[in-house]
Structure 1
Amino acid sequence: MAEDAGPPRCRRVGILGYGRLGQFLAGQLLARGPPLGLALAFVWARDGGVLEGLPPPLRLRDLSLLPQMAVDLVVEVAHPCVAQEHGEDILAHADFMALKVTMTKAPQSFRLQGWLRERLVAAVAAGGREVLYEGPLRPLCPLAPNNVNTMVAAAVAAPSLGFDGVRACLVADPSVPDWHVVEVEVTSVGDEGRALSVTSTRRNPAAPGAVTGAATRDAFWSSLLACRGHGGCVQLC
């Protein structure tokens, strides 16, 4: 008689970042994860003090200790610099799923750098709708690392265009204080004015000033459930 192998092992998930989205995912994993074959392995945050509400075994104080955590999937919901600085090391020990969302937002929802930040300040003073940037995606990325995720995902998904072929447009609009709006337009090669064009628009409700929209949390949770392990790859969601 064959020996009972027992229930399958839960996939252990680590979370980098403990803001609104990180807290939501940690709560989902704790409350709903086990029946779905998921377990919260750890949570890490740049400010370790925000983790005090979690049981000590779930608090990862130092990312260098990640190899000891026996984790299967790491979800980054912190800041793009975390993926840039630690992504390669994480991929050596687990699948790495990065958050990819960007919106046309109210001015207070942007997190910008350099001259683009100065332009945003001027837009706020003017009080109207302002196109902050329109042009190739590549130079925008270091100026708006928290607000170009959807554009970057499109560039990765369309390698024939890439970061130089995808065009980016960032708009500050005070008339949408509690919405994040994404518009994607795909145009085929053809005669000027006669090419096939497909446009999709998404309106994601969001708290005023929030970088992450409300529906993004559930979309991220669904992506986490779908990620079954792909041999050290980055999954866009």
Structure 2
Amino acid sequence: MAQERNVRRIGIIGFGHLGQYLAGMIEEEGHQHGFELAFVWNRHQKKMDGNVRKELQLEDLNKFVARCADLIVEVAHPQIIKDYGEEFLKHADCMVGSPTAFADQEVDTRCREAARRYGHTLYIPSGALWGALDIQKMANRGTLKALKVTMSKHPDSFMLQGHMHELKERTKGQRTVLYDGPVRNLCPLAPNNVNTMAAAALAGHNLGFERVQGCLVADPSLLNFHIVDIEVTGPVNKSAGHEFTVKTSRRNPAPPGEVTGMATYTSFWSSVLNCKGHGGRLFLC
């Protein structure tokens, strides 16, 4: 377990747009919050040259322990958590920016057990999931009866696998529902695009990846926004027969081709600020 320090050291895994933003915020504002960069790792190290100080660049991810990070922030790809999640949690808290990794039940179980065993927190950022804590509260009480997340983006903003990629290319000029069904089956087909849905499945834990529904829509008219619609269904008033429902629609500014909308960057930074030790458990932040 990391020793108590006045400064909380943060390692960033992934140096795409989101990783660059978080690393920059830590460098610029970290001192105000008691943060400092421990390291930055990226699959292609040259991308960091000129953007990350040489002494902060981690060449070999297997050597992350030597950098003594208190918090490791993954914003790369779910495969990182599948390969390293347990090891990260042995030594530090871990914020998982690719929670689609937990659609694999074995990965979910192993990481939760590692958090419990070593006393570190497994953080799940809410990202683009509006109302995440309210959904979690309902799940805790068992009153969450149904949850559906619909994500609509320009076709160029999707990074898809297999038949879904083929469907997107075949129907690129028209609005197309690419998928509508359980989130668990969708995560391997769109691992970089449906982290919001994976976060919903973790927040709505009484339904989980099997019963939380995801709908992915490619819409070429969405030139400036990503849209996330969330439909929550709760209990029925037995005497009146009325059902509790909440529907939200989030329009996140984003040009075509961008996987992450602008508002999600600041949401992630807010989550990092909240990652200050919550014990050996999964924690939505």
Fold equivalence (TM over 0.5): yes
1:118 aligns with 2:115: no
Tell me which amino acid in the other structure corresponds to 1:39. E
Partner of 1:215: 263
Tell me which amino acid in the other structure corresponds to 1:44. W
Tell me which amino acid in the other structure corresponds to 2:255. A
Partner of 2:26: 29
1:175 aligns with 2:173: no
Per mean C-alpha deviation after superposition, the further-off stretch among 167-176 and 96-105 is 96-105
CA contact (8 A) 1:95 1:233 kept: no
1:50 aligns with 2:98: no
CA contact (8 A) 1:15 1:76 kept: yes
State the TM-score, normalized to the length of structure 2.
Answer: 0.75
Partner of 1:3: none
TM-superposed deviation, 1:233? 4.5
Of the candidates 94, 97, 100, which is equivalent to residue 96 of structure 1? 94
Partners in 2 of 1:194 and 1:122 — Cα distance?
42
Partners in 2 of 1:233 and 1:66 — Cα distance?
22
Tell me which amino acid in the other structure corresponds to 1:51. M
TM-superposed deviation, 1:98? 1.4
Residue aligned with 2:227, SS? strand
Partner of 1:18: 15
Of the candidates 58, 65, 71, which is equivalent to residue 60 of structure 1? 58
State the TM-score, normalized to the length of structure 1.
Answer: 0.90
Of the candidates 77, 80, 93, which is equivalent to residue 79 of structure 1? 77
Partner of 1:142: 188
Partner of 1:107: 155
Residues 233, 62 of structure 1: CA spacing in aligned structure 2 closer, same or farther, 3 A cutoff?
Answer: farther
Cα shift readout 1:55-82 (whole Å, capped 9, x = no counterpart): 2110001111111111000111111111
TM-superposed deviation, 1:235? 4.4
Partners in 2 of 1:38 and 1:223 — Cα distance?
13
Partner of 2:140: none
Equivalences for residues 149-160 of structure 1 within 5 A:
149-160=195-206
CA contact (8 A) 1:98 1:234 kept: no
Residue ranges of structure 1 left out of the alignment (5+ in a row): 1-7
Cα shift readout 1:34-69 (whole Å, capped 9, x = no counterpart): 121000111000111111122211000111111111
TM-superposed deviation, 1:196? 2.4
Partners in 2 of 1:15 and 1:197 — Cα distance?
38
Cα shift readout 1:59-109 (whole Å, capped 9, x = no counterpart): 001111111111000111111111221111111111111125564210000
Q: Percent of pairs identical after alignment? A: 51
Residue ranges of structure 2 left out of the alignment (5+ in a row): 98-124, 129-150
Question: In the comparison of the two structures, how many residue pairs are matched?
Answer: 227
Bigger-Rg structure (1/2):
1
Of the candidates 175, 181, 187, which is equivalent to residue 233 of structure 2? 187
Tell me which amino acid in the other structure corresponds to 2:167. R
Partner of 1:4: none
TM-superposed deviation, 1:144? 0.8
Tell me which amino acid in the other structure corresponds to 2:74. E
